[in-house]
Amino acid sequence: MGTTGSADLIRAFNAVAASMEENRDHLCALDGVIGDADHGVAMELGFSAVRKALAELGDDASPTDVFNTAARAFLNAVGASSGPLYATAFMRAGAALKGKSGMDDTDAPEVIAAMAGGIAHRGKASPGDKTMLDAWTPAAEAATAAQGQAAAAVFAAAAKAAADGAETTKGMQAKMGRAARLGERAVGHVDPGAASAALVIAAFAGALA
């Protein structure tokens, strides 16, 4: 059974930062259609702040330290909707790993579910509301179903489910966030937060592989 140490988690966060940089304009364009065109900026800014904060962590940082540091850095750099949502997600992930020196493969589903739970708690959205939760909820389910596999495989399964979930948001009317006032007009467009969620999990999966 494998264990993902703090250094690996930091590498994974760095991979997310690189992915957000790459996808910034795409995510802004998605947000431009049904929101305020800044989601890519928020995600890039947030994860580049995370990368910077993690680079300053000592070698003895625990996985909980890594996630808590990421939470604080993301929140303070971003604000917006994504800030509290991802900060809460990371704080819950950190709590799930409390006292551990690494994330065991068997911890991976719980970590993903904890993040999804944090987002649901903070944002009070329900599945089908056309938010990032429509990527995170199926991701958590897929991760749970992949229990027993290596962390990379768990994250890969979650990433696949998140991407499919993001795709389903096209058919939804938004109930939360800026797009909620659009009614019918939001239908046909992917929710930017769901799209970025799939990228975040995919970057984790890639880095852990």
Partner 1 sequence: MKTKKIINAGEDAVDEMLDGILLAHGDTLRASASSHRAIIARDGPRDGKVGLVIGGGSGHEPTFVGFVGKGLADAAAIGNVFASPPPDPALACAQEVSGGAGVLFMYGNYAGDVMNFDMAAEMAAMEDIEVRTVLTTDDIASAPPDAAETRRGVAGNFFIFKAAGAACDEMMSLDEVERVARHANARTYTMGVALSPCSLPQTRTPNFDIGPDEMEIGMGIHGEPGIARGPLMTADEITDDMMDRILSEMEASAGDRVAVLVNSLGSTPLMELYIMNRRVQARLADAGLTTHATWVGNYCTSLEMAGASVTVMRLDDELTRLIDRPCHCAMFRIV
Ligand X SMILES: Nc1ncnc2c1ncn2[C@@H]1O[C@H](COP(=O)(O)OP(=O)(O)O)[C@@H](O)[C@H]1O
Q: Are 11 and 207 in contact (CB under 8 A)?
A: yes
For residue 195 the two structure tokens come to 């799209």
> Which tokens sit at 48?
């580049």
Whose Cβ is closer to ligand X: residue 85's or residue 152's? 85
How near is the Cβ of 16 to ligand X at its closest, in Å? Answer: 15
Amino acid at 200: V
Please state, in angstroms and rounded to a whole number, the distance separating the CA atoms of residues 95 and 76: 20
Q: Which of 91, 111, 113, 132 binds ligand X (CB under 6 A)?
A: 132
39 interacts with ligand X by CB under 6 A: yes
| Shortest Cβ 83–partner 1 spacing (Å) | 5
- Residue 35 binds to Mg ion (criterion: CB under 5 A): yes
Residues near partner 1 (CB under 8 A) are 24-25, 28-29, 32, 34-38, 40-42, 45, 75-85, 122-123, 176-182, 185
Residues between 56 and 115 that touch Mg ion (CB under 5 A): 80
Give me the sign of the Cα torsion angle 131, 44, 65, 161.
Answer: positive
Give CA separation, 195 vs 61, 77, 99, 146, 161, in Å. 31, 21, 32, 22, 12
In the list Mg ion, partner 1, ligand X, none, the entry touching 110 (Cβ below 5 to 8 angstroms by class) is none
Q: Calculate the CA dihedral of residues 19, 23, 24, 30 and round it to 10 degrees.
A: -140
Interface of this chain with ligand X, residues 164 to 183, rule: CB under 6 A:
176-178
Cβ-closest position to ligand X: 193
195 touches 156 (CB < 8 A): no
Residue 199 in contact with ligand X, rule: CB under 6 A: no
Binding stretches for Mg ion (CB under 5 A): 31, 35-36, 38-39, 80
Binding stretches for ligand X (CB under 6 A): 31, 35-36, 38-39, 42, 80-82, 85, 119, 123-125, 131-133, 176-178, 191-194
